Amino acid sequence: MRLSLGLGAVGLLCLAASTCLLAETVGPVKADTTLWRLALEARPDEHVSMPQVIYALWQQNPHAFRQNNLHHLIQGAVLTPPSREQMLATDAATAKTWYYAQLAEQPLPSHAKPTTSTLVSTRRDNGSATAALSPPPATSADINSNKNAMVIAELDTPDADVSPLTTRVSPAVSVAAATALAESTSSRDTHATPQHPTTAKGSWRVQHEFAAEQRYFNRSGMQGAAHFHSLLSYRGQWSYEDVSRRHNVNIEPYLRWHQRDSDSHLVDLQQAYWRYIGTGWEVKAGIDTVFWGVTESQHLVDVINQTDVTAGVELEAKLGQPMLSLRRTGKAGTLDIYVLPYFRERQFPAPAGRLGPPLRVNQDLTWYESSDGKHNLDVALRYSQRFAGMDVGLSFFSGNNREPLLQPTPSGELQSLYYQMEQYGVDLQWVQGEWLWKLESIYRRTGYAEYVAATGGFEYTQIGAFAQVWDLGWIAEYQYDSRGAQATLPGQNDLFLGWRLALNDLAGSDFLVGVLQDLDNKQSRSMKLEGSTRLSDSMRLSVHAWLFQTDDPLDRLFLLKRDDYIALQLSYYF
Amino acid sequence: MFKTLNKMLFVSALLCALPLVADEQAKGLAIAQEQKARDRGWVESESELQMILRNAQGRESARRMRTFALEVQGDGDKALTIFDEPLDVRGSAFLTHSHPTAEDDQWLYLPSVKRTRRIASRNKSGPFMASEFAYEDMTSFELEKFSFRYLRDEACGELQCYVVEQTPTDTFSGYSKIIVWVDQAHYRVIQAEYYDRKASLLKTLTASDYRQYLDKFWRPHKLHMLNAQTGKSTDLVLETIRFQTGRTAADFDVSALERAR
């Protein structure tokens, strides 16, 4: 007992030393040495995965393994750690797959005791494992002939008597062993949940959300639109990940039904893509929803997806965008490249659905500047990097403008005009204690205009507000648009003030109050109120309300003047 | 004359006491260092957790989450927590890069809007998921976050413990001090008392059901946090924990947050 404690201390010293400097050699291998411990000593930093270290160690030091067998460390052997580059030469996922294959070769003790496990070597002639990679340039014959080197701790039968010297867990032996260990340990408890990380199948996660919303408008609409509107929606999510965690499939359908307006119905795929994750890069093909930006009151740089205007005046909802995207990540930052082969047109509610333009938008009349129309090949780039407390994003977009120009037709309808556009964007976020400073700015050149717009401000969070466990956030953002009154969005010279309150209670209740005040016209403002609380583990109730005030018929808000409303939504998750 | 003598006695008492204080601090630090050293080398882990929140009347509410953790040498650890229950927050992912001296970096990914939000991380004392655990209780134990003072040896249940006082160095911590009971055999936290900024007892933590992994690392399978001021309590139950899952720093990057599942 004392002996094993002493050894433990030695192990600790080794570990402590390994964290400071990269060992020139590791070992010599003792009876209780595990490959995992050696790999820990040899590992330069956490960017290298343990399987990468183990694979490189095994490749570099054929003399230390009997018959190239990972599980047959030869006692007395001294190993030379490979360089960091050698370790990284095999990507993490390949190394992991190889490692698991090796582990699969290892028999598990059938009666694993809670604090004991398999040893450095538990089998004698295992043969070489089913490695998908090149075996080490080993002269295994030499090793075989050197019988003196075979002072491997031998334990042919799992329940053989284990000497104190060898009762050390060998992490390198296997995840499965460790799991079996955890299982046997926890089998004393009732809630043991066996987990098999090395099973050959990936995993699916599925979830659904069903929501019912009731809106009430206090005045009838411009063309006598009704006071009460009901909406029903469904959102599903199927997410698959394979065992290597490299392949990833996500499918997220979204359906909406609107009681008063068939133009507001929606059948959409928010996500339907396959993604492959490599080392330092990933590629994605299919439909996805991408968000860019930092500010709360307006999203200027966010340009990949079409806005789902029919979902509400918040303009937070989007339509899924078909894409092929490539991401490169590294110390120098993250670069995303998007190729967008198909364009999603903006859908507007008909007057009966309210909260939209005063006339119906006829989607059959849609006009494109590009001769390829909705098949125009749009491209986008975004580079992002973090510097201490500062997040920086730079973006570029070229293609169909997501925001159409609406033009009345002689037949009393509206026609959508989609010009080409080029946009350069920058988004900045700076964290300073309880302050978050935010800025988004774009320069956009499009068929009929060329302009600059910006949104900037802060969010300050007060912890323990009102002597409760509440968090109170103060949000202030200024919105600027160089087009002034010709701007297609209300924020041309406006100030947004908002308060966000989180009660940190069991129900996860939160509230948001916001006012967007036009600084050019004191009579023009919009206000919103949002609140939500959990009713049960699978149900959430939320409320939101909007007020639109203006006396200027030329103000964009004037069209919404009669559309003040309050809505109650009940969401059920399963 | 009498006064002067008294003063002299006081000064000499102080002089004697000073090295004593230094000794206590050195011993406190040594215990903390050993505690940290014994937990070095776990590399990365993946665990499933259940949190049971209990109000003063004993009404219970459950939370479920999974946490992936990465040990970082030379800096604070990284942790990614994905919420599974209640269902309305399912899929939300919370990423922390903790730093021993600087403020932690924190992000929250909300799957409903596919948006990653940065969190102003001075929110240390705020409750984690409405539980009795504060954010600062959930981050990695770093020596630089505290100054230490050894108080005494004391029995803690069947074990023998060191009792150490930890004083947070960060003025934004919600605590004025934490008294920790660390068992002498394995340097595991058995119990802790948290004192609020007004120096009154705020919470008591009891760690139990310790199990050893990889023949080295002890993990408590149950943490019970009782708020002495409100009577509310939270149990944090570690249902499973696995090591060697193959995750690397890349899996804990902000850009990977959106694929957390």
Find the domain containing A25 and state its range: 2-186
Would the pLDDT of A544 be above 90?
Answer: yes
Give the nearest chain B residue to A291 (CA atoms).
Answer: B115
Is residue A491 in some structural domain?
yes
Cβ-contact B63, B50 below 8 angstroms: yes
Contact A8 B216 (CB under 8 A): yes
Domain end (from A153, A186, A219)? A186
Predicted pLDDT at B16 = 55
Contact A15 B41 (CB under 8 A): yes
Q: Quote the minimal CA–CA distance from A141 to chain B in Å.
A: 32
Q: Which of A485, A461, A483 is nearest to A474 (CA)?
A: A461
Predicted pLDDT at B5 = 56
Q: Name residues whose C-beta falls within 8 Å of residue B24's C-beta, 6 or more positions apart in sequence.
A: B149, B150, B151
Predicted pLDDT at A105 = 58
**Are A33 and A108 in the same domain?**
yes
**Are A337 and A456 in the same domain?**
yes
Cβ-contact A42, A23 below 8 angstroms: yes
A112-116, A473-477, B137-141: the lowest-pLDDT one: A112-116
Is residue A223 in some structural domain?
yes
pLDDT, tens only, B57-82: 888 999 999 999 999 988 889 999 99
Q: Quote the minimal CA–CA distance from B6 to chain A in Å.
A: 46
User: Alpha-carbon Rg of chain B, whole angstroms?
Assistant: 21
Predicted pLDDT at A61 = 85
Q: Which of B61, B114, B248 lies at the smallest CB-CB distance from A290?
A: B114
- Phi and psi of B12, rounded to 5°? -65, -35
**Are A285 and A211 in the same domain?**
yes
Q: What is the reported pTM?
A: 0.74
Predicted pLDDT at B15 = 56
**Chain A residues touching B172 at Cβ < 8 A:** 433
Cβ-contact A117, A173 below 8 angstroms: yes
CA distance A162 to A164: 6
Q: What is the ipTM of this complex?
A: 0.83
Please state, rounded to an integer, the average pLDDT across all residues of chain A: 78
Question: Torsion angle of alpha carbons B13, B17, B18, B23, nearest 10°?
Answer: 160
**Chain B residues touching A185 at Cβ < 8 A:** 211
Predicted pLDDT at A398 = 96
Would the pLDDT of A10 be above 60?
Answer: no
Is residue A57 in some structural domain?
yes
**Are A235 and A117 in the same domain?**
no
Would the pLDDT of A187 be above 50?
Answer: no
Predicted pLDDT at B92 = 92
Mean pLDDT score, A275-293: 94
CA distance A389 to A387: 6
User: Alpha-carbon Rg of chain A, whole angstroms?
Assistant: 31
Q: How confident is the model at residue B182 (pLDDT cuts 50, 70, 90)?
A: very high
Q: Which of B62, B118, B248 lies at the smallest CB-CB distance from A92?
A: B248
Predicted pLDDT at A240 = 93
Q: Quote the minimal CA–CA distance from A497 to chain B in Å.
A: 19
**Are A166 and A221 in the same domain?**
no
Would the pLDDT of B178 be above 90?
Answer: yes
CA distance A277 to A327: 9
**A534 touching B (Cβ < 8 Å):** yes
**Are A49 and A131 in the same domain?**
yes
Which range, A38-47, A94-103, A135-144, A394-403, has the best average confidence (pLDDT)?
A394-403
pLDDT, tens only, B183-217: 999 999 999 999 999 999 999 999 999 999 988 89
Is residue A194 in some structural domain?
no
Q: How confident is the model at residue B11 (pLDDT cuts 50, 70, 90)?
A: low
Predicted pLDDT at B32 = 92
**Chain A residues touching B240 at Cβ < 8 A:** 182, 186, 193, 195
A14-28, A231-245, A418-432, A503-517: the lowest-pLDDT one: A14-28
Predicted pLDDT at B66 = 95
Name the more confident of A82 and A162.
Answer: A82
**B84 touching A (Cβ < 8 Å):** no
**Chain A residues touching B72 at Cβ < 8 A:** 46
Please state, rounded to an integer, the average pLDDT across all residues of chain B: 88
Q: How confident is the model at residue B17 (pLDDT cuts 50, 70, 90)?
A: low
- Give the Cα-Cα-Cα angle B167, B173, B175 (nearest 5 degrees): 55
Tokens of A493: 């010279």
Give the nearest chain B residue to A10 (CA atoms).
Answer: B38
Predicted pLDDT at A45 = 79
Would the pLDDT of A9 be above 60?
Answer: no
**Are A374 and A414 in the same domain?**
yes
- Residue B12, classed as helix, strand or coil, is helix
Cβ-contact A324, A316 below 8 angstroms: no
Q: How confident is the model at residue A40 (pLDDT cuts 50, 70, 90)?
A: confident
Q: Name residues whose C-beta falls within 8 Å of residue A549's C-beta, 6 or more positions apart in sequence.
A: A523, A524, A525, A526, A527, A557, A561
Mean pLDDT score, B90-101: 90
**Chain B residues touching A277 at Cβ < 8 A:** 259
**Are A82 and A214 in the same domain?**
no
**A469 touching B (Cβ < 8 Å):** yes
Contact A464 B125 (CB under 8 A): yes
Contact B87 A290 (CB under 8 A): no
Percentage of chain B with pLDDT > 70? 92
Would the pLDDT of B9 be above 70?
Answer: no
- Residue A16, classed as helix, strand or coil, is helix
What fold does the segment set B37-259 form as a domain? outer membrane lipoprotein receptor (LolB), chain A (2.50.20)
Is residue A191 in some structural domain?
no
Contact A169 B87 (CB under 8 A): no
Would the pLDDT of A200 be above 60?
Answer: no
Number of domains in chain A: 2
Predicted pLDDT at B18 = 59
Is residue A196 in some structural domain?
no
Q: Which of A11, A133, A145 is nearest to A70 (CA)?
A: A133
Question: Which uninterrupted H or E stretch holds A386?
Answer: strand A378-387
Is residue A53 in some structural domain?
yes
What separation in angstroms does the CA of A449 have from each of A167, A405, A420, A446, B154? 76, 11, 11, 5, 77
Would the pLDDT of A460 be above 80?
Answer: yes
**Chain B residues touching A433 at Cβ < 8 A:** 103, 120, 122, 172
Q: How confident is the model at residue A208 (pLDDT cuts 50, 70, 90)?
A: very high
Percentage of chain B with pLDDT > 90? 56
Is residue A540 in some structural domain?
yes
**Chain B residues touching A11 at Cβ < 8 A:** 216
Question: Could you check whether the bond before residue B86 is cis, i.e. omega within 30 degrees of 0?
Answer: yes
A117-121, A327-331, A470-474, A557-561: the lowest-pLDDT one: A117-121
pLDDT, tens only, A172-185: 333 333 333 333 33
- Residue A374, classed as helix, strand or coil, is helix
**Are A301 and A155 in the same domain?**
no
Dihedral sign for Cα atoms in the order B195, B70, B79, A99: negative
A289-303, A307-321, A391-405, B12-26: the lowest-pLDDT one: B12-26
pLDDT, tens only, A116-171: 333 333 333 333 333 334 444 433 333 333 333 333 333 333 333 333 333 333 33
**B216 touching A (Cβ < 8 Å):** yes
Q: Which of A82, A77, A81 is nearest to A121 (CA)?
A: A77
Helix, strand, coil % over all residues of chain B, rounded to 5:
20, 45, 30
Q: Quote the minimal CA–CA distance from B87 to chain A in Å.
A: 5
Question: Which uninterrupted H or E stretch holds A206?
Answer: strand A203-217
- Residue A43, classed as helix, strand or coil, is coil
Q: Quote the minimal CA–CA distance from A549 to chain B in Å.
A: 28
CA distance B1 to A573: 81
**A508 touching B (Cβ < 8 Å):** yes
Mean pLDDT score, A392-406: 94
